[in-house]
Amino acid sequence: MARVLHQNDVRIGRPKMNEQITIFVGPASLRLGAEVCEIMRTAPGAYECRRFPDGEIQIDIRESIRGRDVFLVQSTSPPVETHLMELVLFADACRRAGAGRLTGVIPYFGYARQDRRTHRRSLGARVAADLIGTAGFDRLMLVDAHTPSIEGFFGIPIDHLTAVPLLARAVAPSVHENSVVVAPDLGAAKLADRYARLLEMPVAIVHKTRFSGREVATRGLTGDVEGRQPVIVDDMISTGGTIEAAAKALAAAGALPVSAVVATHGLFVGDAGDRLAAVGVRRFLVTDSVAPPPELRLPVEVVSVAPLLARAIRHLHEDRSLADLVSHD
């Protein structure tokens, strides 16, 4: 039986911010979760993640959490099924161990794009939400989920945090008087408006048609981009197909080369690296909600959401408002 052990090996002896709070760092978010604990001056909770020969997963809590305010940091990033199962088993273990209150901190929520049913297809967002809802969480924190309406799939309260202000500050040095914020599809239009307000820039929207998970085509563009330098913004970069199509549409409309692509979640799956390298984008800004592939050969800059998560955890633990941390779309 193979075992993967994750414990507070590098922070043993550090003072805890509050003995009534415990933060567990799930296998999908080890680095990000460790940074959150560092900011909050607390050691990550100790647990063991067992993986059996047949692929089954088992979570074993290795310290007392009875009556504590417990936070579990775990993205459901690729491989989504594995990390989703870890999340719900972790929650079940915490609840059975007597956690007083259990909050799931999910920096990236997989299946969020499957939020609308067409023909005879499954509704993945609802199924994932139902599964998480059975695990015993009292509350969830999500970061820039694909659509704000995702909250309607859950039967438990959700705090929908946003990394847009962090990313807007990071991309600001790339912005000039002739820059324009570009939504690569209609679904990102509201997001582009938020960036445009923060950066005081005009907005353009690329209209696209999706044929498959990696193939898209553009069918027009709204807004003035000729002679302007585009900054493309989206909630995530997955295969790179949407960004590639948008960049080509912008070039055909007379825009200057794309100065930056900004997205909260940088998955960069499949051949995304090669596709996007051919586009010639100067800068990619993403957060650490998902760890970028180590072999990725793109000019990627990572903006940490650890301070955002730590602040939200602190506010929730102290029953303070999260109004200035959440998305208001």
- Give catalytic residue positions: 208
Helix 30-40 vs helix 306-317: crossing angle, to nearest 10: 60
Q: Which residues contact 275 (CB under 8 A, 6 or more apart)?
A: 239, 240, 241, 244
Number of residues in the chain: 329
DSSP structure string for 202-241: -EEEEEEEE-SSS-EEEEEEES--TT-EEEEEEEEESSSH
Task: Report the distance separating Cα 105 and Cα 78, nearest Å.
Answer: 17
Residue 85's nearest CA partner among 25, 2, 26 is 26
Residue 62's nearest CA partner among 5, 2, 147, 125 is 5
Task: Report the distance separating Cα 164 and Cα 189, nearest Å.
Answer: 14
C-beta of residue 36 within 8 angstroms of C-beta of residue 8: no
C-beta of residue 250 within 8 angstroms of C-beta of residue 278: no
Give the chain's end-to-end CA distance (angstroms, integer). Answer: 47
Residue 156's nearest CA partner among 113, 106, 204 is 106
Structure tokens at 224: 């003035």
Query: How many CA atoms within 13 Å lie on the side-chain side of 277?
Result: 8
